[in-house]
Amino acid sequence: MRSTLFFAVASALSTAVAALEGSQVSPTATPSICLTTPTDVSCSNYTIAAASITSSISEICKASSFLPGCSLYAACTADSTLNATYCAPLTILASLCTPVEDSVLTSPVCAKSYSIFCATGSKIPDCKSRTALPGLPSGKLVTGTVYSICQEMPTMTDCKLCPGPDATTGYSNCDEVKAWKGLCLDMPDMTQCSSFNTMCKNTGFAPFCSNSYKAPSGGATPSSGGASPVPTDNMNHGQQTPNSASILYCSSVMASLLALAISVIATAL
């Protein structure tokens, strides 16, 4: 009788443990509903897989490396010690997809990624906490700023970095942010540099705002062919957290059964 009761309780405990383990989402689970219908309440615990974000960034920057968001990507890829918030993959993608003026270049990619999972009303937490780099303007604005300054003062050193805008695209195929930075650090009081001054006041992002900043030697770049070391601050990519209610319930059941087991054993003895 004693052994029968003991094994019955042990069996019940094993069942409770199995229920607890089953209540946790598999590490490889990817609730795809959050990538198509991010307004679903279940997406409040969802984190977008970093690989899908960096894939979108790479696709845009392969074709339009002169965009400011691509300069941000290059800076963050080359220096892993930079601000993790500004260098978060979703921040970089937001910096590329948010400027409406650049949508002709970015919308083919953004329309199937950022514009879906970070649409208005999205429950995905990172869409609210990982917005575009504060004050970083569109590529069109940076192109226009550089062109305007260099039309007025063509002898400025950094005017040599970028030719005039392409007649078809309206962009200069060069490192526009580098030219913009150099021109506005040399003459910060120029009226064309108001957006630059605002961005640097908001962020202090050294690669864009400091003359003394030097990227680490040997740092990878987006064109190097290797995986991007852009920092991430959440390793739970593409997952949802375990259902806390289920865990609490199973824990309660286990505690009750354990108390019963102790009582049965004590009585039997």
List per-residue pLDDT tens for the chain, 269 residues long.
554 544 444 454 444 444 444 444 333 344 578 888 999 999 998 988 888 899 999 999 999 999 999 999 999 999 999 999 999 999 999 999 999 999 999 999 999 999 999 999 999 999 999 999 999 999 999 999 999 999 999 999 999 999 889 888 899 989 999 999 999 999 999 999 999 999 999 999 999 999 899 888 755 444 433 334 454 444 344 444 444 333 444 444 455 544 544 454 455 55
- Report if residue 209 sits inside a domain: no
- Report if residue 121 sits inside a domain: yes
Same-domain check for residues 158 and 67: no
Domain that holds residue 13: 2-24+244-268
Same-domain check for residues 156 and 199: yes
C-alpha to C-alpha distance for 68 and 208, rounded to whole angstroms? 10
User: Which burial class, exposed, middle or buried, applies to 126 when counting CB atoms under 10 A from its CB (0-12, 13-18, 19+)?
Assistant: buried
> 214, 257, 232: which is closest to 126 by C-alpha?
232
Same-domain check for residues 170 and 114: no
The residue whose two tokens read 């978060």 is 88
